[in-house]
Amino acid sequence: MLSLFLKCTVGAAVVLLISLLSRSKAFYIAGLVPLFPTFALIAHVIVSQDKGTEALKQTALFGMWSLIPYFIYLLMVYLLATKFPIWSCLSIATLCWIVTATLLVSGWNHYFS
């Protein structure tokens, strides 16, 4: 129960930090905060402990490739931000992320299985 409380507290602190940064002169830094590798650190420890260092290397490699869907998401937000209302812009960008991520996972499974 304490672990769950700590995770919620960290999540709330991150949301607060993003909110504060978005109101500052350096508002663009709010886009960097969610990219701190919190979940990657957790995943890497678990994979390394459960599967070993070769699996950790493969997980890291997949993580590098997973930047492509995120790049597509950000590109779509950048291109559509002034052309669509915010919710349409973010919905289209998210759909593009889903399609790209699906293609990435399918390609990865085909290549590595």
Supply the pLDDT for residue 10: 84
CB of 43 closer than 8 Å to CB of 66 = no
For the segment 11-38, the average pLDDT, to the nearest whole number, is 90
pTM of the predicted model as reported, rounded to 2 decimal places? 0.82
Tell me how far apart the terminal alpha carbons of the chain are, to the nearest angstrom. Answer: 38
**The pLDDT of residue 19:** 94
Exposed/middle/buried for residue 82 (C-beta within 10 Å: 0-12, 13-18, 19+)? exposed
Give the domain ranges of the chain: 1-36
Q: Check if the beta carbon of residue 60 is closer than 8 Å to that of residue 44.
A: yes
| Residue 11 clears pLDDT 90, i.e. is over it | no
- Looking at residue 83, the DSSP 8-state letter turns out to be T
What pLDDT is stored for residue 2 in this prediction?
A: 81
Residue 4 has a pLDDT of: 83
Q: 39-96, pLDDT tens digit by residue? A: 899 899 999 999 999 999 999 999 999 999 999 999 999 999 999 999 999 999 999 9
Distance (Å, whole) CA 65 – CA 104: 8
Calpha distance 91→74 (Å, rounded): 12
Count of positions (residues) in the chain: 113
Alpha-carbon distance 72 to 33, whole Å?
19
